[in-house]
């Protein structure tokens, strides 16, 4: 059967456009901190649940879209970088995260190391650690081998901060829950906030492929809340390095005056 000239031309143009798109995609250079992180589209196509769960924990996230949808919110604009570390520990999945105010990349407000282990088919245990000298490791995600020179006594278990990660009613969505009945157990180094000494933090995280929802409330020694996130938490959406507006943060510092 003969193909018409117009059909042949249409098919040729389709193939050429496909090749161009493939070439354009392959030329996208990911930042060093996203080199092993799949895109949202790739995550959503993953069929192996455990691998997808682990990889959903990694990436570059921002609350800027949340703030656009909630302009009256008093939450400051923030970004978070989440990377895998200690990759040789095959029975465990370790992550390092930094959260910082936008344009203040070199001054993270949160630095956390977490060890995640599978305890049953759909339940994982997340143990948190703090750094003895956190300022020494700020922006460790910019390095090709993060924590290569970590001192053995510089990684301290965070007291009372372990959480379970369990499945929810939504497919491939995981949420943290306290290990025991008491929710406010995570001790933090005392800090003065708005005239109150904060000693405890309550953290609730919900992970999906597209975002992390964060509930983070701070409490004094009597476990009275001093400050916290708005009801429902704050959404940090995954950023895509293929977007034209994406900024590679490993090539900063960013001027605070920008």
> Taking the CB of residue 240, how many other CB atoms lie within 10 A of it?
15
pLDDT digits (tens, 9 = 90+) for 221-247: 999 999 999 999 999 999 999 998 898
pLDDT digits (tens, 9 = 90+) for 48-102: 998 999 999 999 999 999 999 999 999 999 999 999 999 999 889 999 999 999 8
Within 13 A of 97's CA, how many CA atoms are on the CB side? 20
Top pLDDT among 171 and 256 is at 171
Predicted model pTM: 0.85
CATH class belonging to 29-241:
mainly beta
Closest CA to 92 of 131, 125, 56, 59: 125
Domain boundaries, the chain: 29-241
Structure token pair of residue 149: 């020179």
């Amino acid at each position: 059967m003969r193909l018409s000239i117009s059909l042949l031309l249409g098919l040729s143009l389709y193939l050429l456009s496909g090749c161009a798109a493939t070439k354009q995609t392959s030329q996208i250079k990911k930042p060093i901190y996203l080199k092993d992180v799949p895109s949202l589209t790739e995550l959503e196509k993953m069929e192996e649940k455990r691998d997808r769960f682990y990889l959903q924990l990694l990436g570059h996230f921002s609350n800027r879209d949340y703030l656009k949808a909630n302009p009256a919110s008093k939450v400051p604009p923030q970004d978070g970088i989440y990377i895998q570390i200690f990759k040789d520990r095959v029975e465990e999945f370790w992550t390092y995260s930094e959260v910082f105010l936008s344009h203040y990349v070199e001054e993270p407000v949160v630095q956390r190391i977490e060890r995640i282990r599978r305890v049953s088919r759909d339940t994982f245990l997340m143990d948190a650690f703090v750094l003895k000298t956190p300022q020494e490791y700020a922006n460790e995600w910019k390095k090709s081998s993060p924590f290569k020179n970590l001192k053995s006594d510089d990684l301290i278990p965070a007291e009372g901060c372990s959480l379970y990660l369990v499945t929810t009613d939504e497919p491939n969505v995981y949420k943290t829950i306290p290990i025991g009945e008491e929710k406010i157990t995570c001790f933090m180094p005392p800090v003065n906030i708005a005239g109150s000494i904060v000693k405890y933090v309550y953290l609730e995280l919900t992970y999906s492929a597209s975002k992390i929802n964060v509930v983070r409330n701070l409490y004094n020694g009597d476990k009275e809340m001093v400050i916290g996130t708005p009801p429902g938490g704050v959404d940090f959406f995954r950023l895509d390095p293929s977007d034209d507006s994406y900024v590679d943060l490993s090539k900063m510092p960013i001027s605070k005056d920008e």
